[in-house]
Amino acid sequence: MNEKHTPLSQLGEFALIKELTQDFKLQQESTIKGVGDDAAVMDYKDMQTVLSTDLLIEGIHFDLSYCPLKHLGYKAVVVNLSDIYAMNAEPKQITVSIAVSNRFSVEALKELYEGIKLACEFYQVDLVGGDTTSSLKGLIISVTAIGQGKKDELVYRNGAQVGDFICVSGDLGAAYMGLQLLNREKQVFLENPNMQPQLGEHQFLVGKQLKPEARKDIVAYLKEYNIKPSAMIDVSDGLSSELLHLCTQSNVGCLIYEANVPVHNDTYNQSLEFNIDPITCALSGGEDYELLFTLSPEEEAKLNTEEIDIAVIGKIVEKDKSCLLQSRANHLHKLTAQGWNSFKE
């Protein structure tokens, strides 16, 4: 961590933009013009353009008391790329806009951009623009991701058919457990600032919260085996909420088996310690950034779940059968969206 504290006012807007963006190298052939003109220019030739944007507000979406700025920068990019992958498309460029109060130093913003740069390098996307302005209080970040896909390869939320298998990548609920742990440590710290956070043994869960990854590898795997999902969505607000979106838009119902929902051992053990049913973490925790998709029986037959961390967790049924979870004890429960809601009290 850089200990210097250069006030933003010392640089001025243009010098600041230069300072923040000069180390970014353009990697994509489709980027014709990046940062520096009135607008960026891209050429996708015969591909369709996919675009997604997110707005992150300090105190609502992130808490700088436990989220280092570098991680925040990385995560802000990753959550956007996840939306592009959820269309079965490839992200190519991003723009990043920030509003900052004078509480932040040039060095702090450089930390943020260090994380943004790491994500750009790892996912091979170009930073091609943004906007920089001041805020009265706190930090606001908006990231827009732009990607491309062939028209017949893009996958929407509305394509699921009765009889399709429901699949999810990775495991669920870990990021939510990570957040609970960070919150607990923060409370301890607020009560006694001499207490240092005890997070070492919880690296997996805390890592899932602070440094999530988008499932670029899953999209690549599906492409490699020529498997095309009928519908897809990324899991940002919890499995339940995303299943309901997918089913509503596809005009179908679903049946999910609790026993098939992937939950990591650490998530399982930690949720018991917090007195939360592990399946509740998977259904209603958020920020997993896994991919939830449906496959027709022909497509599902091409899937080898020994080879990749994709689990088949249920099937699509008629709409009038509604959206249900079959518990390990064989009871049926209606899925409800307790997903993360930015307007809840």
Q: Which residue has the tokens 């592009």?
A: 84
Told to check if 131 binds Mg ion by CB under 5 A, we report yes
Binding mask 17-36 for ligand ADP (x = CB under 6 A): x--xx-------------xx
CA 315/CA 167 separation, integer angstroms: 9
Q: Does 99 bind ligand ADP (CB under 6 A)?
A: no
Q: Which is nearer to ligand ADP, 129 or 339 (CB)?
A: 129
Cα dist from 246 to 157, 232, 250, whole Å = 5, 8, 6
**Residue 130 C-beta: closest distance to ligand ADP, Å:** 3
Q: Should residue 13 be labelled a site residue for Mg ion when binding is judged by CB under 5 A?
A: no
Interacting residue with ligand ADP among 3, 29, 38, 298 (CB under 6 A): 38
What is the residue type of 264? Answer: H
Instruction: Tell whether residue 273 is a contact of Mg ion (CB under 5 A).
Output: no
The amino acid at residue 204 is: F
Q: What angle do CA 217, 220, 221 make, to 5 degrees?
A: 85
Minimal distance, residue 17 CB to Mg ion, in Å: 9
CB of residue 208 to ligand ADP, shortest distance in Å:
27
Residue 248's binding partner, choosing from Mg ion, ligand ADP, none, with beta-carbon cut-off 5 to 8 A by kind? none
Residues found in the chain: 345
Measured CA to CA, the distance from residue 82 to residue 89 in angstroms comes to: 10
CB of 44 to ligand ADP, least distance (A): 19
Secondary structure of residue 328 in the 3-state scheme: coil
- Which of the ranges 70-78, 130-138, 181-189, 307-315 carries the binding residues for Mg ion, by CB under 5 A? 130-138
Stretch binding ligand ADP (CB under 6 A), from 15-23, 146-154, 189-197, 226-234: 15-23
Smallest separation, CB 54 to ligand ADP (Å)? 15
Give the helix ranges, DSSP H, for the chain: 8-11, 13-21, 69-85, 106-123, 174-191, 203-210, 216-224, 239-250, 265-273, 278-284, 297-300
Q: Name the 3-class secondary structure at 305.
A: coil
Q: Build a one-symbol-per-residue string for 126-165: x at contacts with ligand ADP by CB under 6 A, - elsewhere.
A: -x-xxxx---------------------------------
Radius of gyration of the chain (CA): 21
* Tokens 């298998």 -> residue: 165
Q: Which residue ranges make up the site for ligand ADP (CB under 6 A)?
A: 17, 20-21, 35-38, 96-98, 127, 129-132
Q: Which residue ranges make up the site for Mg ion (CB under 5 A)?
A: 131
